[in-house]
Amino acid sequence: MPLPPAASFIGLEIGNGSLRGARVNISGRSLAQYAEPMPKMSIEGIVSQLVNAVKAVDGAGPEAAKAVGIAVPGIVARNRVSLCANLSVLDQLPLADELNRRLGRPALLENDANAAALAEAWQGAGRGGRGVLYVSLGVGIGAGIVVDGRVWSGPNGYAGEIGHVHVEADGEPCGCGSRGCLETVAGAPGWVRRAGVGLEKGRRTKLKKDDLSQKTILAAADEGDPLALDVVSETAAALGSTLAAAIGLMNLDRVVLGGPAACTVLFDRVVEETKKRTLPRAFAECTFRLSELSDGAGVLGAARLARIATMFGEPQRATPPGYM
């Protein structure tokens, strides 16, 4: 069903202590924006703030948004949050049903990394890719997979959880209960831990014990600091091995690296490490890019999700079969 030119959609993203949102038109251009703190609160408080955010950016009459997408920091399956470590009040609650009832229009939930992946595939560094993997590099490692313009989150929402792919035999313990997960090597705490070990061993470096962070390590690596470069290279090797497996499994044609740690010094090494471990032709046909949308990706992706659901029906379920 073609959409009228005035159609618009709202995307919201529940972040770490904040709620951001926008109403966008069918081309993705922002028409109104919202950003407020979101303190930890009851489910009723969260629903009220989401409803208020929608009202704050909504248009009137034919310009009212047709649907609302919400990016959440957790696993989403069948339009329900099934696991949300930072906002456990959301777990298993029928948030989308409640919003749908209060707003009188479809409300769709999606994992935040999946929403960012959808936005990159639509308007960012994933444009033109048919098999797009977006990886967010920061404290943790998140990822989203977009196949032919649709998020592929798997039957139960776990697709793209590459932070818990095993990369190191007998590696460090991980928050998931396993050891040696990608996140233990490539997440910010892993960087700080390894830089700290290097300092204790008396490695030559400009890094300071009381000022170790992913940011200071990246800045030092950029200036050629040998210890910082080792930390970055170890991260790149672990990421490269995981990305090579992903390309081999899925025949990806686009890999987009985003998040606070995504920058040239890491990117170049990740591409090199992936190349070493991937079938040459599969590697040659896959393009690597740094993300283009930075902070706004989750909101834009959530709005895109709302648009897709409206265009292709089945708006009540986030991951219906063939919803594009």
Nearer to Zn ion, 186 or 244 (CB): 186
**Helix ranges, the chain (H):** 43-57, 95-103, 112-123, 182-186, 188-200, 214-222, 226-250, 264-277, 280-284, 297-312
In single-letter form, the type of residue at position 176 comes to C
CB of 181 to Zn ion, least distance (A): 3
Residues that bind Zn ion (CB under 5 A): 164, 174, 176, 178, 181
Assess contact for 166 and 178: CB atoms under 8 A.
yes
Is residue 120 within 8 A of residue 132, CB to CB? The reply is yes
CB nearer Zn ion, residue 22 or residue 238: 238
Shortest Cβ distance from residue 154 to Zn ion (Å)?
A: 17
Q: Among residues 176 and 279, whose Cβ is nearest to Zn ion?
A: 176
Distance, CA of 279 to chain centre: 26
Q: DSSP of 57-121, one letter per residue?
A: H--SGGGS-S-EEEEESSEEETTEEEE-TT-GGGTT--HHHHHHHHHTS-EEEEEHHHHHHHHHH
Q: Could you tell me the smallest distance in angstroms from the CB atom of residue 151 to Zn ion?
A: 22
Closer residue to Zn ion, CB minimum distance, 131 or 163: 163
CB-nearer residue toward Zn ion: 107 or 181: 181
The token pair that represents 244 in the structure block: 């090579």
Minimum CB separation of residue 174 from Zn ion in Å reads: 3
Nearer to Zn ion, 181 or 293 (CB): 181
User: Euclidean distance between the first and final Cα of the chain, in Å?
Assistant: 11
Minimum distance, C-beta of residue 242 to Zn ion, in the bound complex (Å): 12
Minimum distance of Zn ion from residue 155's CB (angstroms)? 20
